Each structure stands twice: as C-alpha cells, then as structure tokens.
Amino acid sequence: MKSLTHKEGFLHRFVDFSHSFPEQIAIRDLDADETVTYRDLRIRAEECNGFLHALKVSPGEKVALVLPNSVDFIAYYLAVIGHGAVPVILNYKLTAFELGNVLGISKPSLIVTTGALFEQHQDLFQPTHALIVGNGDEPLENATVEATLPRQAQPLSLPDDNPIVSMQFTYRGIGKPLAVCHRYLDLTQSSDGLHEQFHPQGVGSVHLVTLPLYAIFGLSVMMVFPLSIGATLLMTNTLLNRDLAQVLSEHQVTFACLVPDVIRYFNSRLAKRKGPRLPLHPHLMMYSGGSHLPADEGEKLGKLLGCAAVLQGYGLTESMPVIVQSSVGEVHRGAMGRPISGVELRVVDAQGQDVVAGRIGELLIRGSMVIPGYEAAPEINARFFRDGWLHTGDLVWRDEEGHVFFYCQRLRISKIKAQMVDLAEIESVALKHPDAVRARAYIVPDHKEVNVLHLSVEGDGELSQNSVTTLLSRYLSGFKLPKIIEIVPLKEALHAR
C-alpha cells in the first residue's frame, strides 16, 4: 500500500465528492425517513462548524460527541475535524459513573449532545459547556441550544498533516478505561487496506449501518470508509424490528456488518420466514465484527438469505480493523482472515518466540494504523507496547497460508453483546457493597459459544443477589451486568457458627 499524502485523507475525499457528485445520496436514514445528499451533508457540517466558531472553540481543543447514530453525529464529527479540534467519541449509553470516568480523562472543552441526554446527565455535564443539538429556546445553565445560535456556515478546514481525529476508550483488564487516539492518514489508510479485500465499492454502493459509530469498527468501516468512496450510508437503529431480507433487497445493499448476536437473532427469524427469497445485490458482502463468530452461524445466514456466507474480520480499538477475510480472494473456513496491507503480525509463545503454523500463541501486531500507546499511561504502555509491537492479549494460530484463527482471550476482558467488558471493573464496583469482601467475575461460554458473564461475591450481613444487582445497575451499563450472581458466605462467619 502506498503512503498517503494529506490531500488523500478521508475528509478531503468527502469534500471532493460533495462537489463532484453533489446529488449523490450520502445518508438514507430509515428511522427518520430522511435522505441527505453529499452536498447537504457538507452544508450541515459547515453549519456545525459555524456553531463551534460561535462558541469560540479553539483548534486543538477536545470536543466530546455524546450522540446516537444519526446525521447529526456524522455532521458534527466532520465539523470538529474541519475545525481543527479533536473529537472525543463517547458511548451515549454509558451510565453517569462510566461517563464521569472518561470525561475525567479526556477533559473536553465542549460536549455536543441531545436535550434528553443533557437532562439525564445534567449534573455531570454542567462543569463543561454543552451544545444541545436540535430545537429549544429555554435557557439552560452552562449549555447552549443549537437553535439559538446564528446559522453562519464556516467552510471545513482540511487537515494539512496527520492530526488526531478520534479519541476513544477501551479496557485492558486493569479496571479502568484507557484513552486511544487515531490520526487522519492512519484512519484513511486502514479503510484503503480493507477496500483492497472487498468487491470494489464507490458511487452507487450502499452500506448498511447498524453498528454504533462511537466504536472504532463502526467509525472506520461504517462511516469513514463509505464517505471516502462516495457510497451511501443506509442507517437504522431499529434493524431488529425490521425484515433483514427486505431491507437488503429493497435498497440493494452491497456491504453490511452485523455483530454475532444480531446474526444469531436473524438466523432464528429468517428460518421462520415465509415466501420466496428476495433478490439481493449480486456482490452483497456480509461481515461480522465486534466479537468472534462461529463459522456455522455465518454460513447459516448466507443460506437463509441466498447469498455468500458471512465473512469475518479482526481489529481492536488500538488498531482499527487489521485482519479480514477477503470477498475477492481465498477464504478459509473459521478464520478471521489475513492482515491487510501495511500490517505486520507475529504469533509468539510465552517467551516471545515466534511459533510455527498450527501452534497457538499471542497475537502481536504493528503498522501505521496501530497506536504507539495509550494517552498518559506510561506504565500500562510498557506492558502492552514493546519494541514497536502491540501485544493484543488474544491467543490465535495460523495455518500454512497465513490465515489467522481465533482461540481465546488471555486478558481479563471479554466481549458481551459485542461490547468490551473489563472483569476487574465489575469486581471493583461489586466491592462497593459494604458487606462484600471479595469478588470474582468470569466468563462461561454457553452451548452456542456465546459469552455469559458470571460474578461470585463473598461476604456476609446484608449481601444478597438483589442488593448486588441493584448496586451494579447504579454504576454499570446493562451489557456489563452479570447474568449469574453467586453469593458466597464468608468462611470465617461459617466457622464461627
């Protein structure tokens, strides 16, 4: 893969498309029944940039986006980059406790959010000025409603180097979030490397967007990639309430990514679907991301829809997607694929020595799309970044042709519903219970290879399943809540009886 110049970055490409193909549809929002052209999206981003100017946001400052998948999320992301500021992209579904942790690390000068989310987290957001997207004229303390600002569009300033264009957060089993920053050309290069493995996409291609854009996989594959090639983003936050086959057929989708839990869900629904198969795009590519997908589930969805089997990929918040099964090349059943251009990988044993094909070892990766380290975390960086290699903590093996197969995760983290769960964080919250003495979270795969979170808490007094569940719900997002909680009486208390 050739090295990119700043003029070949994704924002440059998007702006070029907005001028050369102004009427091309950039976003079709199924939920809002809204269609946005490339010109419309650029104009909306320029309006958002005007709001940032009105609020005197300086280049280099951090702007937090706490928004659901929407046209506004995309427009503000483009505007923040085009303003020379740094987007801090946060999961809008986080609890106040979780949001407080990441806001404390990132320290943005402005939070862009909705009225409902501002009301929900008003005490948390108020120390930082907030910009409320949408209408409204009621005065708010330390917040500005977008509709009260003058609509004075400001052209997007295109980056002339390789600035940071996203700050996101991940976990590594140490009980606290870690800040990850990606840069302009690196994000573009990752998208280009993926495209080399796909049926060619471009103007007229339709990409189904169902993954959250606040995660790196959604941001890079579901937004940056299509907008840099002139494709259409088909957006919906209600896919589970829709007929997947109908959506794919009606809009002639060419590229779709789904997480394993959603694939299992549609396998069950489509098995009961009546009527003939609907005509799909002849080069429809279905991919799975977020966590490992068993091969039979991906093959089943392809058979039910009448298209090729679901392909897989692999990436981390620290790396963006770096391994992918090719839709135009050789695919090995059950593999995650081979590294894209610009990525090097090793599989090593406990002593750091490379293992032969067929042997299990830890996956190490490096390349321009892999970050050099977490922000302001030198001790943690020394553990995970050594000699230019990111130690992923994932155990894998390779076959003779270099296809990578996932085995298991070595760190005390896991994916639940395609979301990262840090077992140490769950334990630390459980220990906030006044009668808890020890806590241990662990994962048990069920009969469908779905990760199930268990929690064992040792203590006495008022410790109970209900009290622990109530405590965890106060602090943690729903996907982090254990499915099974075991209460273990203190051994000391038992001996005293």
Contact 143, 152 (CB under 8 A): no
> How do residues 104-122 score in pLDDT, each as one tens digit?
999 999 999 999 999 999 9
More confident residue, 123 or 7: 123
Domain ends where: 237, 271, 299? 237
Q: Per-residue pLDDT for 493 more than 50?
A: no
- CATH, residue 391: 2.30.38.10
The two structure tokens encoding residue 257: 């990514």
What is the chain's mean pLDDT, rounded?
94
Q: Per-residue pLDDT for 418 more than 50?
A: yes
* The pLDDT of residue 238: 96
Residues 405 and 431 in one domain: no
Q: Per-residue pLDDT for 495 more than 80?
A: no
Helix (H) or strand (E) holding 34: strand 34-37
Residues 198 and 52 in one domain: yes
- CATH, residue 481: 3.30.300.30
Contact 134, 115 (CB under 8 A): yes
Residues 227 and 320 in one domain: no
Domain ends where: 409, 442, 460? 409
DSSP lists the bridge partners of residue 110 as: 63, 129
Contact 392, 365 (CB under 8 A): yes
CA dihedral 8, 11, 15, 18 (to 10 degrees): 110
Q: How far apart are the first and last CA of the chain?
A: 70
Residues 375 and 446 in one domain: no
Structural domain boundaries, residue 333: 311-409
| DSSP H stretches of helix in 391-489 | 423-430, 465-475
Residues 398 and 436 in one domain: no
> Which residues, in sequence order, are CB contacts of 222 under 8 Å at separation 6+?
207, 209, 210, 211, 213, 233, 257
* The pLDDT of residue 154: 97
**Average pLDDT rounded to a whole number, residues 415-442:** 95
Q: How many residues does the chain have?
A: 497
In a domain, 114, yes or no: yes
**Average pLDDT rounded to a whole number, residues 134-149:** 83
- As a three-state string, the secondary structure of 317-348 is CCCEEEEECCCCCCCCCCCCEEECCCEEEEEE
> How do residues 25-80 score in pLDDT, each as one tens digit?
999 999 999 999 999 999 999 999 999 999 999 999 999 999 999 999 999 999 99
Q: Per-residue pLDDT for 490 more than 90?
A: no
Residues 359 and 489 in one domain: no
In a domain, 284, yes or no: no
Domain ends where: 409, 430, 462? 409
Token pair 């990409």 is at which residue? Answer: 207
Q: Per-residue pLDDT for 496 more than 60?
A: no
> How do residues 322-379 score in pLDDT, each as one tens digit?
999 999 999 999 999 999 999 999 999 999 999 999 999 999 999 999 999 999 999 9
Q: Per-residue pLDDT for 466 more than 90?
A: yes
* The pLDDT of residue 494: 43
Q: How large a percentage of the chain has pLDDT more than 70?
A: 98
Contact 309, 302 (CB under 8 A): yes
Q: How far apart are CA 438 and CA 459, in angstroms?
A: 7
Contact 413, 451 (CB under 8 A): no
> How do residues 370-398 score in pLDDT, each as one tens digit?
999 999 999 999 999 999 999 999 999 99
Residues 229 and 349 in one domain: no
**Average pLDDT rounded to a whole number, residues 466-492:** 93
pTM for this structure? Answer: 0.95
Provide the domain count of the chain: 3
Nearest to residue 209, comparing CAs of 419, 31, 80, 17? 31
Q: Per-residue pLDDT for 100 more than 50?
A: yes
Token pair 């840069």 is at which residue? Answer: 183
